[in-house]
Structure 1
């Protein structure tokens, strides 16, 4: 037995690819999260005044921070995918599967 014939699909890489696909699928909803509540409050909208302005500023700050974190999520997952070999030994694959079940 030599070379790639003894190798199997890398379970960790497979899990990372699935994670990336799932994130991409949810990204639109996540990017729009808090957008409507933020737009509805402050500056003569459904709720106005100093408290509304403070709330609006706070929610917009949180939304921007969340979007920044989301923006770095896909590249981080892709970097891990790029590091993971496509094929590994059966023994390594078994250990990875056990680790992924935790």
Structure 2
């Protein structure tokens, strides 16, 4: 009878220990899955951040290109206008000189 009780007690202890082992294994597996999911989320976030940086870089390059083209056009227009003003000034000076010459002769 004592042996039977002892065997039952041992069996109950073994069942309880196995239950604790199974519970701890389940916790370990849960933590592994959480860590794996966290890595996936982290990698996905890093990928999205890099893609956003690349898109921003492309947009900045395009904006810089447009700005450069506009600056070139403004410089060309300024140069053209300056040449035009210089030509008009030369014509005005030539006219003035001719008028002075004519006035001196009269």
TM-score by length of 1: 0.36
Name the structure, 1 or 2, with higher relative contact order (CA <8 Å, separation 6+).
1
Which one has the largest radius of gyration? 2
TM-score by length of 2: 0.35
- Higher helix share goes to which structure? 2
